[in-house]
Structure 1
Amino acid sequence: MASPRLLALTALAALCLGFAAVAQTTPLPDAPTTPQTTAPETALDANGFAPVAGADASLESLIWQKRPVVVFADSPFDPAFKDQMRLLEVRWPELAARDVVVIADTTPNPPSAVRLKLRPRGFSLVIIAKDGTVNLRKPRPWDAREIIRSIDKMPIRREEIRSGAQQ
């Protein structure tokens, strides 16, 4: 015959296992039951700033159409990523006038086609010319005014300015 102490411990263990099984299968009432599907950086704001998610972007389709500015991070909560997106958003009308499209890639696994092609490590800012060549890489956030200056120095942009196509 089992001792009362052993019976109490057995009952307690069974009770704990029962609670653990229920806790694993029953969501908390306030907890979301579906994962977040929209990345915070893909929301459209008041001035039209709407970054494209890295998984949805195709650099080849942008050649001769847009100037990709690609912002990589390992998480959308990376302070450098947040800072860079804020800097781009502040000067968005000027960037949009230069045919810029912002691509935000914060998902290293599985890697997007853009991430596989450009191979960033952690935070990275990559500016690509309209002809598809990588013009500049930065390991830290860069002021949008400097990005605009860099774009304005590109030969294709200088030709656009000379021809009066866009200013």
Structure 2
Amino acid sequence: MKLKFLLFVMALSAMGPGRDAPPPDADSVPRSNPARLPPIAQSSTEPTDPVPPAAPEASFLDAADVAPEDFVWKQRPIVVFADTPGDPAFVEQLDALQRGAVALAARDAVVILDTDPSADSIWRRNLHPRGFSLVLIDKDGQIKIRRPSPWDVREIGRAIDRLPLRRQEIGRGSVLR
């Protein structure tokens, strides 16, 4: 019984003062001093629209120009292989990647294109593709996904967002920015 009474008294005291008092007088409410407010800048010219910052876009690089070591702990290479530049799967994948370049850039992705098997690039020696192939490599240099068919950028973005390193980046993103 004492416990119930004690809980009732605590709840009643937590409600605050009674509502029988009249509302405060308008003159008794403190207001900010208009003299202390910073002056409003008046411009004599017409205001101009601020220029929005340019959205970053993913880089498209030739496999012969770059090495896998160039991207370790910096960017996520998405390597697209084909036997010829006219391969329909390659053309479809390249079109999809170009349309989603902004989404890829937001995930620190760079697209590496390799359409010349005779050049025997370091990418081909390390990844051993057969015909068309898409390979996603994380920032730590490990191969995360291999696809033998074109893949939508939305799916690529979701796959990147599931990677442990990307999850760490997202977690830190709100703190550092």
What is aligned with 1:8? Answer: none
1:133 aligns with 2:135: no
1:159 aligns with 2:132: no
* Structure 1 moving runs of 4+ over 3 Å: 47-50
Is this contact kept in 2: 1:69–1:125, CA < 8 A? yes
1:56-71 pair list within 5 angstroms = 56-71=65-80
Q: Deviations over 1:62-106 (max 9, x none)?
A: 100000000000011101000001111111101001110000000
Instruction: Note the aligned Cα RMSD (angstroms).
Output: 1.7
What is aligned with 2:156? Answer: 147
Is this contact kept in 1: 2:58–2:104, CA < 8 A? no
What is aligned with 1:114? Answer: 123
TM-score by length of 2: 0.65
Q: Extract unaligned runs of 5+ from structure 1.
A: 1-46
* 1: CA distance, partners of 2:167 / 2:113: 26
The alpha-carbon deviation at position 110 of structure 1 amounts to 2.2
What is aligned with 2:108? Answer: 99
1:88 aligns with 2:97: yes
The alpha-carbon deviation at position 142 of structure 1 amounts to 0.5
Is this contact kept in 2: 1:125–1:141, CA < 8 A? yes
* 1: CA distance, partners of 2:134 / 2:164: 20
* 2: CA distance, partners of 1:114 / 1:160: 26
Higher radius of gyration, 1 or 2: 2
What is aligned with 1:54? Answer: 63
Is this contact kept in 2: 1:57–1:114, CA < 8 A? no
What is aligned with 1:42? Answer: none
Is this contact kept in 1: 2:58–2:110, CA < 8 A? no
* 1: CA distance, partners of 2:168 / 2:58: 26
Q: Residue type of the partner of 1:97?
A: A
* 2: CA distance, partners of 1:49 / 1:162: 22
Q: Residue type of the partner of 1:155?
A: P
Is this contact kept in 2: 1:72–1:125, CA < 8 A? yes
TM-score by length of 1: 0.69
What is aligned with 1:36? Answer: none
* 2: CA distance, partners of 1:51 / 1:139: 20
What is aligned with 2:50? Answer: none
The alpha-carbon deviation at position 48 of structure 1 amounts to 4.4
Q: Extract unaligned runs of 5+ from structure 2.
A: 1-55
Q: What is the total number of aligned residue pairs between the two structures?
A: 121
Report percent identity of matched pairs: 50
